[in-house]
Amino acid sequence: MGTYVRPDNVRGDGAIVQPDVETERSFIARAFEMRRLAIEQGDQPYGAIVVLNGQIVGESGSRVLLDHDPTGHAEMAAIRDAGRRLKREHLSGAVLYSSSRPCPMCEAAAAWSGISHMVYGRNAERAGRPLLCR
């Protein structure tokens, strides 16, 4: 089960708009790629990306150990990256994809930044592919 920070996926007539599953799989796969890079660099096994209008606007693996920063979670770092790239602090309409369920701090940061919803993979993988939770 995933976390929806805000129901931006509901149309005016009340119908729920479901994102394309294959597109979501490609984005969650990129979050898992960020996870792999974090592990290779000697950090914790987490990765995240921020997507706006179908484009990756922020991405990062965990930076906790590398930056000696207890708030350097992958989700926080990806949100910071998106803000820098877009030159804005509010990410309304963006989606946060994470390799695992974000912690309460990261969920709060996503809500504070205006992220519309989150999609995360489970810690387990089946046949080398991340399992989706929405």
* Active-site annotation, residues: 75
Secondary structure (3-state) at 116: coil
Q: What share of the chain is helix, strand, coil (3-state, %, to 5)?
A: 35, 25, 40
Question: Are 121 and 100 within 8 A, CB to CB?
Answer: yes
Residues 23, 30, 94, 117, CA torsion sign: positive
Confirm if 115 and 124 have CB atoms less than 8 A apart: no
What is the rounded distance in angstroms from the CA atom of residue 61 to the CA atom of residue 51? Answer: 15
Can you say whether the dihedral through the CA atoms of 54, 129, 118, 56 is positive or negative?
negative
